[in-house]
Each structure stands twice: as C-alpha cells, then as structure tokens.
Structure 1
C-alpha cells in the first residue's frame, strides 16, 4: 500500500476516534472528519463509503489492536491466566474515553456487539480446545452468557465512573470466571 494512502487512512481513522470521544457519533459529519484529519472530503470518500463504513473499519482496527495488546503468542484459551484479562482491561482503562464512547454508540452495529463477539469467540475456542462437556448449543449459550457478562461489567464500570482500578475489576471478574470454570469442569466430568 502506498505510504501516502496509509498515512491518509490513519489520519482519517484517528480523526474519527478523537471526534467520537468528544461528541455523539450521529452528530459527526464527513466534513468534521476531513477537517480533523487535515484532508479533503474527497479523500475520505476515496477510502470509505460513508462514516458508517469508516466506523466499521475503526472498530475492526481497535479490536485487532486490543487483541494484539492483550493476548500473548503463548497464551492458550480465552483467559488461561489473569494476565490477558488484566491487559485487556488495562488497555480499555488507558483509553477509557474512546472505549466509553465506542460502547455508547447507538443505532449502528456497535462496538459492544463486536467486542462481545470477540470475547464469545475466545470462549468457544477454549471450550473446543479443552473439550468441555457441553453440546454445540450449550457451548454457544455459555459463550454468549460469558461475553455479555464481561462486556456488561465493562459498561457498568464506565457508567459508574470506574469506581475501582483495572486490577481490582480483573480480580473480581476472574473470581467469577473461576466459578464458571469449575461448573464447566463439572459438566465435562458428567459426560
């Protein structure tokens, strides 16, 4: 990819991310994005169909960044130790304004949905790898339950003005995950 194209795309994405942290997504215009990125409207449209397409690409990039930052190459399963979960929550804490804004976007395929899918996918991989004693439907329900719970707790954390540190939130979430791991281990023993 041409360096100038990559530079423009990065500037446009960064502009949208900064604007999202400042005001509601539905009030952001292509002109706002172009002005913030220091490019013209045509440049924005040459890379993205509209602001929704740009948002989708930004969400995808944020999730890729979150995964890269938080999962080490030697990790197995979704949260085999507290470390990946802690790194995830610390990364979200470090960029709290952005993630809070992304989680609050309404009326478009939201960051919440994408984040929940990412977490659910990790739980599904874990259950498949460790052959937990649930059928496919049971695994899907469990993964959805856990991902909704984790994302819901992160939303609650933001709504409550982050009443505890990322470390404390991780400890409390980890204890809940451990309880569910015991339940899953028990279900595998019964099969």
Structure 2
C-alpha cells in the first residue's frame, strides 16, 4: 500500500480512537473524524464505507493482531497453553488503552461479541476433540466457559489491570483446570 494512503488511513483510525475516548460511538460523525484526522470527508470514504465499517475493520484488525502475536499455529485449533495465555495477557497489558476503550464504550458491544464469537469457535472445536463427560451439554459448557473467560478479561481490563498478567494467568489456569478436570479424561496440559 502506498505510504500516503497508509498514513491517511492510520490518521483516520487514530482520530476515530481519540473521538471514541471523548464521546459515544453513536454521536461520532464522519465529519468529526475527518476534521480530527485533518483529511477531507472524501478521504475517509475512500477507506471506509461509514463509521460502522471503520469500527468493524479496526476491531477485526486488532483481534487478528492479538491472535497473530499470541497464538502459535498449532494452538489455532486447540485451546491455548499456559504460555500462550501469558503472552495474550501481556499483549493486552501492552495495548490496555485500546482494549479498555473498547470494553468501556457504552453501547459498543461489537468488540465483546467478536471476542465471544472467536472463543466460541475455539472452545467448540476443542470440546469436540476431547472426551467430554456425557453429563455435560457441549453448548452449555461452551457458553459457561466463554462467559467466564470474557467476564474475567473484561473485569481485569476495566479495573485497570489490578493484578499482573502472570497472576491472572495462574488463577485463570487453575480455575479452568478445576472446572474441566472432573468432566473429561485428563486435564488441560501446560
């Protein structure tokens, strides 16, 4: 991509994020984004259909970046290892301002929904690959684990990460193992 085009696109994204930190998503306009980015309105439309497309593309890029930086290729199908979880929490720490903004923006459930969708796919694939206790319904188990994982991440990020990533991973890992250990043949391995 041409450097000028890339620079304009980044200026638009940066302007959008600054505006998101100041006001509700629904009240942000393309004109405000263009003005904040110091580009004309047409330039915004060259890159994005509308503010929803801008938000969705940026969220998707951030989630893909998170996956790329934190997940190894062999962990893309199975649940992550403890090491991968630590890399993920550390990545979230390094990019706290973005994730905090996405989780605290009123009415902006898109980010949370995208994370839940990603986790749902991974957990479903994992539970299909293990010998889950017949007493447990796969769909209910997936929803329970997603709610727990997203809830813990959300709590940690919104509260300005009161515990280090290493403590969060250790606690999360222990809780996850306790929850699944009794319901499958063999606990999750490190």
TM-score by length of 1: 0.82
The match for 1:42 is 42
Aligned to 1:185, the other structure's residue is in SS state coil
Does the aligned pair in 2 maintain the 1:78–1:119 contact within 8 Å? no
> Displacement of 1:22 after TM fit?
4.6
> Displacement of 1:11 after TM fit?
3.1
The match for 2:8 is 8
Aligned length: 185
The match for 2:180 is 181
Question: What aligned pairs does 1:1-191 form with structure 2 within 5 A after superposition?
Answer: 4-75=4-75, 77-79=78-80, 81-133=81-133, 138-186=137-185
- Aligned CA RMSD, in angstroms, stands at 2.6
Does the aligned pair in 1 maintain the 2:103–2:158 contact within 8 Å? no
> Displacement of 1:47 after TM fit?
2.5
More displaced 10-residue stretch of structure 1: 39-48 or 104-113? 104-113
Stretches of structure 2 lacking an aligned partner (at least 5 in a row): none
TM-score by length of 2: 0.83
Stretches of structure 1 lacking an aligned partner (at least 5 in a row): none
CA distance in 2, matches of 1:12, 1:83: 35
> Displacement of 1:108 after TM fit?
4.5
CA distance in 2, matches of 1:149, 1:170: 13
Residue deviations 1:111-135, cap 9 Å, x none? 1111111122111121123353459
CA distance in 1, matches of 2:116, 2:176: 16
